[in-house]
Homo-oligomer: A and B are copies of this chain.
Amino acid sequence: MSDLATAPQLSLKAIELAKRVVRMTTAAGSGHPTSALSILHIVTVLLYRQMRHDPRDPWNPAADRLVLSEGHAVPVVYAAWADLGGVVGESPDSARPLTVDELDTLRAVDSVLDGHPNPQTAFPFFDLATGSLGQGLSGACGLALAARLDRLERRVYVLIGDGESREGQVAEALDFLVDNDLTRVVPVFNCNGLGQSDPVSQQQSAGRLALKAQAYGFEVERIDGHDVEQVIAALERAAAADSPRAIVAQTVKGWGVSAFQETNLHGKTLDEEAADSAIDELDGLEREVRVSAAAGAPVAAPVPSRPRREAVLPGRLGPPDFEALLADHKDLKKVRSGTFATRRAYGLALRELAKADPRVVALDGDVKNSTYSEFVAEAVPGRFFEARIAEQNMVSVAAGLAAGGKIPFAGSFAKFLVRGYDQLELALLSGVPLKLVGSHIGANIGADGPSQMGLTDVAYFGGLATVERPDGAPLVTLFQPACAVAAYHCVQMMADCPGAAYLRTMRPDLPFLYDPDETFEPGGSKLLRQGEDVALVASTYMVHVALRVAERLREDGIRAAVVDAYSLPLKDEPLRDVAAACRGRLLTLEDNYGNGLGAAVAGLVAEGVLGPCRLRQMHARTVPRSGRTSEDVLGEVGLSDDEIETAVRTAIS
């Protein structure tokens, strides 16, 4: 203990950082200084003493982690990082120390100091972007799971605001932490009592939060978050605990600066003159501490050495042999009868990929026997995590696993993954390779009704697919295969995507459309049936419908081409040739709501890259209801065979 920083040293350091927080936020004209000052002493103790990390090597996977769930409080971390000589940069090769002068570039467009923690702006101390509240504890659980898989002993400290603790995701994360015994995650609740617009509810008071955490199974220590000795002691006890333990810290928003405390100045900064006064006030506090302070600079905990890692060349999926993959499984008879659900193919593919690639992990939301991630749970149980019915937490845990070097596939019904879209968006800011898998897509699911159907996902992911990552890859690549063989190959393509990916799988067992060794590509589509009169461009269930309708039309001499457009962002090949062959008569077919595949094709048409075309987009036009068969439901939403046939006849007339 004697070689670690003392409480007076840390108190002095904290005041020094407070002054920088005031100056940098005044320079930026924004930046939440009051929240930053409420975590001032906790951050100081963490970064200067408690955390086992080397500011010159934030990439060391063995080093302790900080997740700042209340991301807006970040200026104090930036101030500490500059003071510690912490490095910034895209990679160790381009690393350079952050300078104190740079603090004044906070929030400038060419600064590494983004408004909220953002690893993508070359600030590698953070693994995970934060800023949308209530997600940090979940992400920390993911980082801790990844560490456990890699046999690393790093701890993950999480600072959570009292106001943001209202987000139910925090409760989900507490449950997940206990279920998985993630005692290396240390949640610290920062109770400054003030939200953005009002005092925090009594339901999120320090006392109530402590009671709640206890009810979730935590030992809770309550402290004064500005008493450095209490902060040190509590963090040491929590770090050493072998059962779930949380800290509830009472703090002051705008600590040390009376101008910040007169009213609740959330997100407000001081003008130059007020900043000068604030500095004077902090100087006064400094003098009071200095009287009793020992000399010397703070000294931090020892840095863990970088673990040696063998380079792993992961195996890859070959073409599926479903009979062999199923062995004596009851689903074998489905394959032998010539039909197989894409969701089942997903489960088998992920099982095989998990066996071949140690980075692959799977998560599910209590529907693994519907999504078929149960194949992974059975074969590779150590890399399957049951996240229960809590999709927000599941997606953020997956993001943490991805930030920890894993390739997580997180699945549930597509409908329920909507619960995790905000969490996905935050993960995308972190640039991590998160893979989501939504089953039971479309109106074709039938009997369970609209509350279980994924109907809005193509529009949403279609938007994300229009954005490029810094490496040029799509921000998200969407896959929506119509056939089990394609679904199997999609899993490898998802793993290969540098960015995020989303797979849509179907409930029904449907006929195979491809040979096992067919090749697929992100953004690709396949011409399944030649035609000259009209092209039916479809996805998932509607590919099968399109083939059926095309066959029926053939009897009347109408030759309809059928294209399986299984991925977005959609490449213009081979649509260009099909459009030309069909004199530009195009019909898109999808059993979700609109602004999906049809909008992607419309974009190509309107841009002119497919030549002269006229497109009709067919999709679910009304809210579906239950129906005992897929066709019953499709008939209700404007997608019966007859309606499609009529649309074709209109298109060619």
Contact = CB atoms under 8 A, between A and B. Distances in A.
Contacts of A28: 447, 628
A132 interface: yes
A101 B48 CA distance: 73
A460 interface: yes
Contacts of A421: 418, 421, 456
Interface in A603-620: 603, 605-608, 613-617, 619-620
A455 B132 CA distance: 13
Interface in A110-157: 111, 114-116, 118, 120-121, 129-134
A71 B451 contact: yes
Interface residues of A, number: 126
21 contacts: A28-B628, A107-B447, A109-B632, A130-B451, A131-B448, A166-B390, A167-B390, A197-B364, A197-B370, A197-B374, A415-B422, A418-B425, A456-B463, A459-B459, A459-B464, A466-B595, A595-B600, A602-B603, A606-B613, A607-B614, A607-B615
A635 B108 CA distance: 13
Given A120-B623, A166-B388, A599-B603, 15 more contacts: A29-B447, A107-B627, A108-B626, A114-B449, A115-B448, A115-B626, A121-B625, A130-B451, A167-B172, A168-B168, A179-B202, A419-B422, A421-B456, A456-B464, A463-B593
A273 B59 CA distance: 63
A622 interface: yes
Contact of A447 (B30, B429, B596): B30
A450 interface: yes
Contact of A451 (B429, B475, B602, B633): B429
Contacts of A130: 451
A352 interface: no
A392 B390 CA distance: 12
A600 B459 CA distance: 12
A327 to B, nearest CB: 22
What 8 A-B pairs come out closest when comparing CB atoms?
A: A168-B168, A131-B451, A459-B463, A466-B594, A109-B627, A115-B449, A215-B215, A605-B606
Nearest to A168: B168
Nearest to A113: B626
Contacts of A460: 456, 459-460, 463
Interface stretch (A206-214, A303-311, A525-533, A543-551): A206-214
A428 interface: yes
Contacts of A328: none
A186 interface: no
A162 to B, nearest CB: 10
Contacts of A621: 466-468
A601 B464 CA distance: 18
A133 B621 CA distance: 25
Given A197-B366, A636-B109, A118 B625 contact: yes
Interface in A385-434: 386, 388-390, 392-393, 415-416, 418-419, 421-422, 425-426, 428-429
Interface of A: 28-31, 71, 107-109, 111, 114-116, 118, 120-121, 129-134, 163-164, 166-172, 175, 178-179, 195-198, 201-204, 208, 211-212, 214-217, 364, 366-370, 374, 386, 388-390, 392-393, 415-416, 418-419, 421-422, 425-426, 428-429, 447-452, 455-456, 458-460, 462-470, 475, 586, 592-596, 598-603, 605-608, 613-617, 619-623, 625-628, 632-633, 635-636
A626 B114 contact: yes
A172 B166 CA distance: 6
B203 A116 contact: no
Contact of A606 (B195, B204, B428, B606): B606
A402 B196 CA distance: 27
A107 B628 contact: yes
Q: In the assembly, how many copies of this chain are there?
A: 2
A29 B601 contact: no
Of A366, A455, A592, the most chain B CB neighbours within 10 A belong to A366
Nearest to A74: B449
Contacts of A171: 168, 171
A234 to B, nearest CB: 21
Contact of A163 (B201, B212, B366): B366
A366 to B, nearest CB: 5
A163 B636 CA distance: 32
A605 B469 CA distance: 29
Nearest to A179: B201
Contacts of A616: 607
A392 B134 CA distance: 12
A389 B606 contact: no
Contacts of A195: 366, 388-389
A499 to B, nearest CB: 10
Nearest to A172: B168
A561 to B, nearest CB: 17
A497 to B, nearest CB: 16
A89 to B, nearest CB: 16
Given A172-B168, A212-B212, A425-B456, A633 B109 contact: yes
A570 to B, nearest CB: 11
A466 B451 CA distance: 18
A36 to B, nearest CB: 14
A415 B571 CA distance: 29
Contact of A603 (B168, B467, B617): B617
A109 B626 contact: yes
A386 B627 contact: no
A217 B196 contact: no
A133 B413 CA distance: 12
